[in-house]
C-alpha cells in the first residue's frame, strides 16, 4: 500500500508518518506533498492507494483537493484540527471516507484506514 500525506507543515507530516508506523498497518510506503497542487502531481506520478490530507493549506486546501480527486479510484481521508459538523459534512460530500481530528492516536488511524481498505 502507498500512502500520500498532504500537509503544509513538515512537522505534522512527520507526526502523521510516525503515527502511521505505530498503527501496525502492515507494509506500506509513504510519499509527501505540502499542498493540494503538489498532491495532484504526486497522485499522477506515484499512484497512491490512500491520501491523507490536511484541510487548511495554501494554494489548494483539502476541500479543493477532494473535489479534484473525485472520480479517481482512490481512498481519501482528512486529518485536521478542525472538526466542526459543517466541515465534516463538506468533507464527506466531497468524497472523504473519514475525518481524523488532531490530536490523534495510532489506534485512530488503524481503525479509520482498516474501515476503508476492507
Residue 118 has pLDDT above 80, yes or no: no
Q: How confident is the model at residue 101 (pLDDT cuts 50, 70, 90)?
A: very high
Reduce the secondary structure of the chain to three states and give it as a string: CEEEEECCCHHHHHHHHHHHHHCCCCCCEEEEECCHHHHHHHHHHHCCCEEEECCCCCCCCHHHHHHHHCCCCCEEEEEECCCCHHHHHHHHHCCCCEEEECCCCHHHHHHHHHHHCC
Mean pLDDT of 19-46: 96
Confidence (pLDDT) at 89: 96
Q: Which domains does the chain have, with CATH numbers?
A: 2-116 (3.40.50.2300)
Kindly compute the dihedral angle of the four CA atoms of residues 5, 113, 63, 46, in this order, to the nearest 10 degrees: 40
Give the mean pLDDT of 16-39. Answer: 96
pLDDT by residue (tens digit) across 44-54?
A: 999 999 999 99
Q: What is the pLDDT of residues 57-98, one digit of tens each?
A: 999 999 999 999 998 989 999 999 988 999 999 999 999 999
Provide the pLDDT for residue 34. 97
CA distance 11 to 98: 22
Amino acid at each position: 500500500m502507498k500512502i500520500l500525506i498532504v500537509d503544509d507543515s513538515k512537522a505534522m507530516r512527520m507526526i502523521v508518518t510516525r503515527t502511521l508506523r505505530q498503527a501496525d498497518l502492515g507494509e506500506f510506503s509513504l510519499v509527501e506533498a505540502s499542498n493540494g497542487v503538489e498532491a495532484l502531481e504526486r497522485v499522477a506520478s506515484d499512484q497512491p492507494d490512500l491520501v491523507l490530507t490536511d484541510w487548511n493549506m495554501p494554494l489548494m486546501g483539502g476541500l479543493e483537493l477532494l473535489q479534484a480527486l473525485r472520480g479517481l479510484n482512490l481512498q481519501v481521508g482528512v486529518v485536521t484540527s478542525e472538526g466542526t459538523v459543517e466541515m465534516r459534512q463538506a468533507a464527506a460530500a466531497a468524497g472523504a471516507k473519514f475525518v481524523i481530528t488532531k490530536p490523534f492516536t495510532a489506534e485512530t488511524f488503524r481503525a479509520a484506514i482498516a474501515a476503508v481498505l476492507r
